[in-house]
């Protein structure tokens, strides 16, 4: 559950970036009146209203490039959760939400359908928002979780334990339902890895100083790997064995919101093994992706590196 504790921060970042970029964000046609916080909460309420509409009466899509279909609360949840991973998709998300407010859910449906071929909703004791996910691309998550966890920690004891876990996940994050499905799939795993490392994970447990210190790069707000976890790992390993670099952006992995500062520190670490000073943070261009990245004042090498980062971030749209 701790892995989802920053999801709401990423969502808040999406809302605030939208408000700060009227016009570029389709949900905000013009500059807001009143405080920015009030505008953010107003936008949050509008999106919540769409969720309520989709739950009570799904949006019918009579025709799309994937054929006819509908957008219910589950599909909307899936799209919103995915966009928290990849800020490059925020303009597409805002366009889709703005069109839904006008009664047209075609783009939202096409975005959802492109993630994988899902079956219709099925009866499930975790709640009506869950869907089966037969697409092969989603099997990697429970498999990785299965092989990374201790065999004794894979199984939740009973049906009631699974239900309780699901409810706790839902209280933690709006994407808790999705994570519940993956975690529960993992509990049925019987595969044993050929090799696995189960510790020690800290100096107190007997971990020795690492011959090659590691650099932990974490976004300020990541929907599934919170900054708090990176700091706990660095503390457990010791300052001479690990260091945290904070990429002050949103999304999953530092590539989701490019920072030239972050890239230069990573390159220096990979080439020369140099760690940044403790508590180092790197800023990002916060108006991106609603506005283009600025290359002003960069030399040829820096511009090339930033352009490469932008291309890597943009590649997430095709996943």
Does residue 246 have a pLDDT over 90?
yes
Residue 72 has pLDDT above 80, yes or no: yes
Domain endpoint, select from 99, 114, 129: 114
Assigned domain for 204 exists: no
Is residue 319 within 8 A of residue 313, CB to CB? The reply is no
What is the three-class DSSP state of 224?
coil
Span of 146-155, 160-169, 193-202, 258-267 with lowest mean pLDDT: 146-155
Does the pLDDT of residue 156 top 60, yes or no?
no
Which of 185-216 are b and which e, b meaning 16 or more Cβ less than 10 Å from the residue's Cβ? bbbebeeeeeeeeeeeeeeeeeeeeeeebebb
Predicted local distance difference test score (pLDDT) of residue 16 = 95
Distance between CA atoms of 297 and 247, rounded to whole angstroms?
21
To the nearest 10°, report the CA torsion of 87, 88, 91, 93.
-60
- CA 169 to mean position of chain CA atoms: 15
Which of 150, 184, 151 is CA-nearest to residue 167?
184
Residue holding tokens 């201790």? 150
60, 108 Cβ separation under 8 angstroms: no
pLDDT for residue 198 is more than 50: yes
Q: How confident is the model at residue 2 (pLDDT cuts 50, 70, 90)?
A: low
pLDDT of amino acid 111: 86
- At which of 69, 89, 114 does a domain end? 114
| Domain encompassing residue 120 | 116-198
Predicted TM-score (pTM) of this structure: 0.84
Position 244 in a domain: yes
Residues 136 and 106 in one domain: no
274/308 same-domain check: yes
Residue 117's pLDDT band (cuts 50, 70, 90): low
pLDDT band at 19; cut points 50, 70, 90: very high
* Range picked from 5-9, 63-67, 121-125 for highest mean pLDDT: 5-9
End-to-end CA distance of the chain: 25
Question: 103 with 123, same domain?
Answer: no
- 185-to-37, 62, 160, 254 alpha-carbon distances in Å: 39, 33, 16, 28
- Do 59 and 154 sit in the same domain of this protein? no
* Domain-located, residue 207: no
Asked if the structure places residue 205 within a domain, the reply is no
Region 34-53: what's the mean pLDDT?
95
Are residues 102 and 32 both part of a single domain? yes
* Domain-embedded: residue 209: no
Please check whether residue 108 is in contact with residue 93, taking contact to mean a CB–CB distance below 8 angstroms: no
- Whole-number Cα distances in Å, 150 to 154, 199, 224, 239: 7, 11, 20, 27
Question: Of 198, 231, 257, which one is at a domain's C-terminal end?
Answer: 198
Same structural domain for residues 313 and 229? yes
- Same domain for 130 and 190? yes
pLDDT at res. 199: 83
pLDDT band at 119 (very low <50, low <70, confident <90, very high): very low
- Considering only 43-52, 164-173, 217-226, 239-248, which range has the smallest mean pLDDT? 164-173
- Lowest-pLDDT choice from 3-17, 88-102, 241-255: 3-17
pLDDT of residue 114: 77
Residue 221 pLDDT > 90, yes or no?
yes
**Per-residue model confidence (pLDDT) at position 138:** 58
Extract the tokens encoding 1: 């559950």
Does 300 lie in the same domain as 221?
yes
Average pLDDT rounded to a whole number, residues 38-54 = 96
Same domain? For 35 and 95 the reply is yes
Residue 146 and residue 110 share a domain: no
Domain count, the chain: 3
For residues 287 and 269, state if they share a domain: yes
Residue 289 buriedness (CB in 10 A; 0-12 / 13-18 / 19+): buried
Q: Could you tell me if 21 and 43 lie in one domain?
A: yes
Q: Where do runs of H (alpha helix) occur along the chain?
A: 7-20, 36-56, 73-85, 90-101, 106-114, 140-148, 159-172, 176-186, 227-237, 260-272, 300-314
Q: Comparing C-alpha atoms, which of 108, 124, 120 is closest to residue 61?
A: 108
**Is residue 206 domain-resident?**
no
- Over residues 93-104, the mean pLDDT reads 96
Spatial CB neighbours of 257, under 8 Å, sequence gap ≥ 6: 87, 219, 247, 249, 250, 251, 284, 288, 313
72 dihedral zone (left: phi>0; alpha: psi -120 to 50; beta): beta
């Amino acid at each position: 559950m701790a892995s989802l504790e920053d999801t709401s921060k990423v969502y808040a970042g999406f809302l605030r970036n939208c408000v700060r970029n009227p016009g570029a964000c389709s949900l905000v046609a013009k500059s807001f009146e009143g405080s920015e916080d009030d505008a953010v909460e107003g936008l949050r309420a509008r999106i919540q209203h769409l969720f309520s509409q989709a739950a009570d009466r799904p949006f019918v899509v009579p025709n799309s490039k994937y054929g006819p279909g509908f957008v219910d609360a589950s599909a909307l949840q899936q799209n919103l959760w995915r966009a928290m991973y990849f800020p490059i998709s925020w303009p597409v998300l805002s366009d889709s939400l703005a069109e839904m407010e006008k009664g047209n859910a075609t783009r939202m449906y096409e975005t959802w359908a492109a993630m994988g071929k899902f079956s219709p909703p099925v009866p499930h004791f975790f709640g009506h928002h869950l869907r089966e996910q037969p697409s092969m691309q989603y099997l990697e998550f429970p498999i990785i979780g299965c092989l990374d966890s201790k065999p004794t920690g894979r199984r939740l004891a009973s049906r009631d334990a699974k239900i309780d876990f699901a409810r706790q996940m839902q209280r933690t994050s709006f994407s808790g339902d999705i994570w519940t499905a993956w975690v529960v799939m993992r509990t049925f795993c019987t595969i044993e890895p050929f090799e696995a490392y189960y510790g020690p994970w800290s100096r107190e447990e007997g971990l020795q100083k690492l011959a090659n210190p590691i650099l932990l790069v974490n976004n300020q707000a990541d929907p599934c790997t919170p900054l708090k976890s990176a700091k706990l790992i660095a503390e457990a390993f010791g300052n001479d064995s690990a260091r945290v670099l904070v990429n002050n952006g949103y999304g999953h992995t530092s590539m989701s919101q490019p920072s030239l500062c972050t890239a230069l520190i990573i390159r220096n670490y990979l080439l020369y093994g140099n760690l940044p000073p403790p508590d180092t943070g790197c800023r990002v261009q916060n108006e991106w992706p609603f506005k283009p990245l600025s290359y002003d004042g960069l030399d040829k090498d820096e511009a090339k590196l930033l352009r490469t980062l932008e291309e890597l971030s943009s590649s997430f749209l095709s996943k």
